């Protein structure tokens, strides 16, 4: 069976044993994180923080995603940023940090194998 627009992530058994799985896909030009939340729902998001590119991981105790670099927090259901840094002004250039949401990917589960659905 051809799996057009589907990328294999992992098996559900592996995901149950690990906190999360992170993989890079050339097709997406993105690194993704796949995890089971507290409700045992499978979630897949970009694992690269839109702030400065830090690694995103799933904090199961707090039930949200967070960045390892600057501790930014993201909603596990929407990918929306839950925390904002102080806005800084650098001389002689002004800059403003505008956090973006994490990219969300849809999930396909077939025979306990997890696939990511994407558009070309």
Domain-located, residue 1: no
All residue ranges of the chain with pLDDT < 70 are 1-4, 84-99, 120
Give the pLDDT of residue 115.
Answer: 86
pLDDT of 98 reads 54
What's the confidence (pLDDT) of residue 80? 82
- CATH code of the domain in which 61 resides: 2.102.10.10
Report yes or no on 48 lying in a domain: yes
Looking at the DSSP assignment, which residues form a beta bridge with residue 43?
35
Domain count, the chain: 1
Where in the sequence is the domain holding 41, given as residue range(s)?
Answer: 6-117
pLDDT in tens, 66-85: 999 988 888 888 888 888 65
Q: How many CB atoms lie within 10 A of CB 91?
A: 5
Per-residue pLDDT, 86: 37
Best CA proximity match to 38, nearest among 62, 15, 55, 14: 62
Number of residues that make up the chain:
120
Put simply, whether the predicted model's pTM sits higher than 0.85 gets the answer no
């Amino acid at each position: 069976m051809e799996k057009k627009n589907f990328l294999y992530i992992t098996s559900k058994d592996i995901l149950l044993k690990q906190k999360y799985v992170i993989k890079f896909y050339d097709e997406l030009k993105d690194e993704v994180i796949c995890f089971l939340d507290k409700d045992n729902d499978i979630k897949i998001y970009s694992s690269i923080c839109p702030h400065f590119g830090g690694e995103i991981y799933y904090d199961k105790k707090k039930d949200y995603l967070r960045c390892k670099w600057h501790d930014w927090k993201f909603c596990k259901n929407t990918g929306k940023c839950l925390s904002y840094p102080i806005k800084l002004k650098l001389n002689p250039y002004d800059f403003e940090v505008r956090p973006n949401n994490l990219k969300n990917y849809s999930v396909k589960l077939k025979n306990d194998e997890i696939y990511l659905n994407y558009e070309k």
